[in-house]
Structure 1
Amino acid sequence: MVIDERILEREALLRRAFSRIDLFEIGKRLKIPYFEKFESGWEVDEEEASREIASRIDEDELKLIFSEHKPREWVVFRGRYYTLEDGELSLKGSWRTIREGVRWLKERYGKELTALIRLMISRGEINADEAKDALKRADPREVLEDLEESKVIVASYRSGDYKEWTLLEEVIPLLEVELGMKPKPSVREVKAAVASSPTKTGKVDYVMEERKRIEEMNRELAEYLNDLLKHRLEKTIRFGKSFNLEVLAKYLRNLFGSVLYFDSLLSITQQYGLANIEMVHSHGRTGKRTGWSLALFGEPGTGKSFSTRDMILGKPGARIPPHGIPGRNRYCGGMTPATFIRIGQAYEGKTFNFIVPEFNDFFRYKGMVEPLKLAMEQGEIKYETHRETIGPYRFTSFFSVNYNVSVYGKGYAVTVQDPNFSAIEDRMLCRLHRLTKERFIEIAKSQRRLTMGEIDIGKGAQKIRDHLTLVYAIETRHPLVRDRFPYKPVMITPRVFEMLNKARDAILEEIPMKVVRFSARLEDRAIRFAGAASLMEYFRSDLDHIPISEEALRYAIQLYVEEASVRSQEIFKPEEILKKIL
């Protein structure tokens, strides 16, 4: 029983102390079979890798690992069996010291201490002003500093006199027992819990769990960016001086053909838009930004999941490396919409991309259209049932989704029963997939070439991902690059509106009815696409802004016309309009 508990704690310690690159190197040195299927550390799952190592080593080997591999400098771990502080591992736990500190603080602050710990568990991080919500009489800063001195909490952020504190995950079970939040488990309960599984049972705090995931994703981005800056910066800048949307299109056409390439082009361009930076004109702000949500819909087997999931996250088993920004894509496979609405609270004020396969499944539950519509337009979400109230909170992220529809000779029909589903589609950039003979042949050819190893995506994927990550970091002012490269807004030129006006007039001429079946939001999505695509040209000029490029505008107009046709049940041929205006 004790051995199993130590394994679980070793797993948590390894996951926090080392990057996935380090874990990969450790696993390879130990000749653990799990690591043999990966070519690099970026492909491994940190949780799985830590578990594999922890279950195959003893304490002597653990000490050896920490002597041969330098742990992350900022990491503190205070477990029942292990302690890590200032880069030094101790095989003596911290719980006895913490327990003594908590008992002393409980005598001093009474119930206010319990209220403060509850608040910290729910929020993750806290500053002195926020601590006032739990403390009526005691001085918040004094209590927090006493907790820090007693090793109950750690400082997670410092800037001058300002400070934030957080609870360590491994300390929370001890605090819950000591402060009477949870009863002390009996010996029988401990044995049963350890013997069964490390999986948590009982009520799950979705927001707290998701905040931990966000911390891991932030670490993933920082570690990838740091590796890029150390080893590939000059190559990436050189690549960026000749890279644009047309170069990306050529790369994808060579891989997948003239039909399939476009879906991956959309997915990768959306990743550039996640920087969500300002779009300006020559006289000031426009109120527009580069971020947008993407929907690929159509018949089953048309390659939708490949473009929105595999190309962005990677699929090692199929030899497809990731093209998306590290640590900025949250995969939602198997997630219920209620869970999504709960965890969305953890992303308030943050910009991530939520990849949702089988998006139709979200709408099997009643009442989901309105909160998801608000999420799409980054509005304030409040969701109430007879059991709980979630929110209000403002969702500030984007979506990349796919779903099946019934496709006809002209147009399509959604399989979602809710009549308001069109309001969801109206808030995304949408693309219809029809399983034509041409698409079928290209899918079959691509599958064969991937299986036979005839497509080598690796080298190109690394260059594009490095460029994407560097541009994203610059434009979001990541601390690692903030002082090295200037922020540049995207400039909307008069040419953009000139081309949109031409496209709009040509489309309306072809629609015989007085009512159109698409909204003006479609033009907004086209502009946002053009802005995101133009970010690919960050390194191509020395201007203090990035003008929307001709290539980006041409593709944006194509998307606008094609989606307007699909929304109008294809009563006009988009290629005829595009011939006129391009």
Structure 2
Amino acid sequence: MNLPLEDKIRERILLLRRFLYHLEWDWPNEVKTKVLGYLGLPQTQSVNLEDLVKKLSDAQLERLIQLSPVKDYYTFRGKHYTVRKGGIFEPHGSWEEVKNVAKQILKVHGKKGYALLKTLTEISEAPFEFIAAKASEIYGDRFYPSRLIAELRDKWDLAWEVGSRQYPRWVMPEEVKLAVSEVLAEFEAAPIPPLRTRDAEQEFLEVIRMEDEFKNYLSSLVKERLEETVKFGRELSPQYLINYLQDLYGPTIFFDHLLSITQQYSICDVDVVTEDGVKALSVGFNLALFGEPGTGKTFATKDMVLG
């Protein structure tokens, strides 16, 4: 069987360790007996998961998940495979779903959400006290994320409580860590200004939301209207734009809107002069900003942006 990527093999191993960890037990057990019986393999004491997954088809893998006694409790959201609660097997990944969840957490919780997600991606499993301390270090202030980590568990399925009741520990599912880390890297790439007030934090989150909305629009455009958009770009010219605006607004008013588009989409390297005609400086700036008061700069801009 030809598996396309080595990471797909690793993901299959994670999948079996999640749902059929009994296979690696050295002693006989009912689950191992059922699995080996289904595959027609000898009832050996130990099973090498790497060797096993290389021989499995996706159909066999799906059948093995159905033999799991814990399929009603666990999920799996990997790059190549997805398993919903109840053992519903899907032979495709769900990283886009995971990334959207991580982005939503960042939008709602900002730097606190970042601190907790960052902590969970960097540890294997740990008690809550350790997670709170590390998240506080990343956040830069005391941060007790009891409610947030419960939200990640109950609403987003990005944090699991493992261990015993007496000694509980927290962990992020291994297969989603890289997807979450990619989202965090985008968050880190944008400089985070000092956010001293709640309003400032909300405004920063709104900027992130708008940037994400813009990226999603571009992604949709590339997937659904790329050829149409490229064709439009090749045919567009200054004269085309002038003719279009003159048809809409007439031979006089159209110029306000032409300046508005210049302001929105181009930077002009122009000379700035005084009333006496003396050159003050040269600057890359929007020409439309130099219009006289009352000439319709704001109106034209809003008209073009809002329609």
| Coarse TM-score class (shorter-chain normalised) | 0.3 to 0.5
Larger Rg: 2
Is the helix fraction higher in 1 or 2?
2
Provide TM-score, normalisation by structure 2: 0.46
Which structure would you say has the larger RCO, counting Cα contacts within 8 Å and 6 or more residues apart? 1
Q: Higher strand share goes to which structure?
A: 1
